[in-house]
Structure 1
Amino acid sequence: MKRMLFTTRYCLLALVAMAFMASCASTRKSSSPHVYMSKQYEELKNVLNEAEVSIIKDSLKVIFPNNVLFASSSDQVNDAIKPTFSRFAEILNKYGKTKILITGHTDNTGSADYNRELSEKRAASAKGLLSSFNVNNDRMFTWGLSDRDPIASNNTDAGKARNRRVEFVILYDVKQ
């Protein structure tokens, strides 16, 4: 009887230990995207002095101001930014479990059609530059938002300058 009670205790202890280990493994797996994105955030923050880098839950946002990327009313990427984009692409390539949404933005100056087209071309140019540094095109998506998502007032020159930008939203690819 005593031996049976002793064996039952060990079985019960073994079951509790297995349940605990299983719960720890699932917790570690579910926090994995957060850890992965946090590491990428730290690297981007250290490398991209020209951009504003932020983390929102398990996604990252990188904002390059217009004056850094493009000349006024242009969709051609400035040559001076290419070394920065090379470093940006290097980190994106290191963290291949992500998708990248590239959005182009304008201020409210000009016609809606012009701004839409310009924002689309700017997003495509930024994608093309990253692609030239071997970031996989299947990971990148572009969207021209025109003046629909301002981050500052369009009533001042400073506000308009902030609204003319390209943003990169980096998302963890749950299918990986």
Structure 2
Amino acid sequence: MRRTLLISKYCIYAMLGIALMTSCAASKKSTSHQTYMNKQYQELKDVLNEAEVSIIKDSVKVIFPNNVLFASSSDQLNERVKPMFTQFADVLNRYNKTKILITGHTDNTGAADYNRQLSEKRAMSAKQLLNENKVSNDRMFTWGLADRNPLGPNNTEAGKAKNRRVEFVILYDMKN
């Protein structure tokens, strides 16, 4: 009986030890991917002077200035954005343990269906340009949000211009 209690006591200690090591390993893994994302954030911040780069929990968000990307009713990226996208792609390629969600946005001018399609095309244009700069298609996902998440008021030209954009959310790929 005493031996059974002693064995049970050691089993409990062993299970507690394993639980402690597992939680430390998970914490270490979490810390390592946070460090990875922080390094990527800092490098993007340094390279993309004109873009708004922010870190939100475990992701990095990049928004290029609205006047750089698209004209009204257009899904064609302006030529002057290509050098910035090349720099952006270079950083993304160095940090290949991430996935990129590319969301296209519009102002509220036009029909809802038209804006949805336009926002999808804007996201696809951005994805295509990054892919031309060797960012793997497998890492990028697109989504058209139309006029659902405005950054500015849609009753002014400046507000509408701010809403014609593409946003990039960079997430750590837990499979890597």
Query: Do the two structures share a fold, i.e. TM-score over 0.5?
Result: yes
8 Å CA contact retained: 2:63, 2:167: yes
Q: Distance in 1 between matches of 2:162 and 2:150?
A: 8
Does the CA-based 8 Å contact 2:34-2:58 persist in structure 1?
yes
CA offsets per residue over residues 28-52 of structure 1, 9 Å max, x none? 2221111110000000001112211
TM-score computed with the length of structure 2 as normaliser: 0.84
- Compute the RMSD of aligned alpha carbons: 2.0
Identify the residue that residue 117 of structure 2 maps to in structure 1.
117
Question: Cα offset for 1:159?
Answer: 1.5
User: In the aligned structure 2, how far is the partner of 1:97 from the partner of 1:132?
Assistant: 19
Aligned length: 160
Judge which range, 103-112 or 24-33, deviates more.
Answer: 24-33
Runs of 4 or more consecutive aligned structure 1 residues displaced over 4 Å after TM superposition: 18-26
TM-score calculated relative to the size of structure 1: 0.84
**Structure 2 residue 143 is the aligned partner of structure 1 residue 143:** yes
Q: 2:63: which partner in 1?
A: 63
1:82: which partner in 2? Answer: 82
With over 3 angstroms needed to count, the CA separation of the structure-2 counterparts of 1:25 and 1:71, relative to structure 1, is: same
Identity between Structure 1 and Structure 2 (%): 73
Shift of 1:175: 1.1
CA contact (8 A) 1:101 1:168 kept: yes
Alignment partners' CA distance in 1, 2:77 and 2:85: 10
Q: State the SS of the aligned residue for 1:107.
A: coil
Distance in 2 of aligned mates of 1:102 and 1:158:
23
CA distance in 1, matches of 2:121, 2:164: 13
Unaligned runs of 5+ in 1: 1-17
2:172 counterpart of 1:172: yes
Q: Does the 8 A contact of 1:43 with 1:91 survive in 2?
A: yes
Q: 8 Å contact 2:37–2:59 — kept in the other structure?
A: yes
Q: Which residue of 1 aligns with 2:44?
A: 44
Partner secondary structure for residue 169 of structure 1: strand
Match of 1:154 in 2: 154
